[in-house]
Structure 1
């Protein structure tokens, strides 16, 4: 995905569409999979319910 796809612009505000990695911090996003979210940098994984 392109970086522009991780943000949504509405008027004067910018909103993130993906969650940031809690280990790596802001600027590193979690990849959205069917059953989980994962970080490609550190390997952090959250499973969806």
Structure 2
């Protein structure tokens, strides 16, 4: 994380009625509270380095 720049936490959650919905994927190794970064072809955790590759989308004709 860059110095002096804060994370916009309001982009990670959505409120519907009386429920809070998490919009980002959580890290399975670190547990709840640690979100994974979403890249073009993968999800990665900045804390532990865990990485999941996205499945390529098949084109339907």
What interval of TM-score do these two structures reach, taking the shorter chain for normalisation?
Answer: over 0.9
TM-score (norm 2): 0.75
Q: Which has the larger radius of gyration?
A: 2
Runs of 5+ in structure 2 lacking a partner?
Answer: 1-6, 56-61
Which structure 1 residue ranges, 4+ long, deviate > 6 Å from structure 2?
none
TM-score (norm 1): 0.92
Say what the alpha-carbon RMSD is for the aligned residues: 0.9
Q: Pick 1 or 2: higher relative contact order, CA cutoff 8 A, min separation 6.
A: 1
- The number of residues matched between the two structures is 49
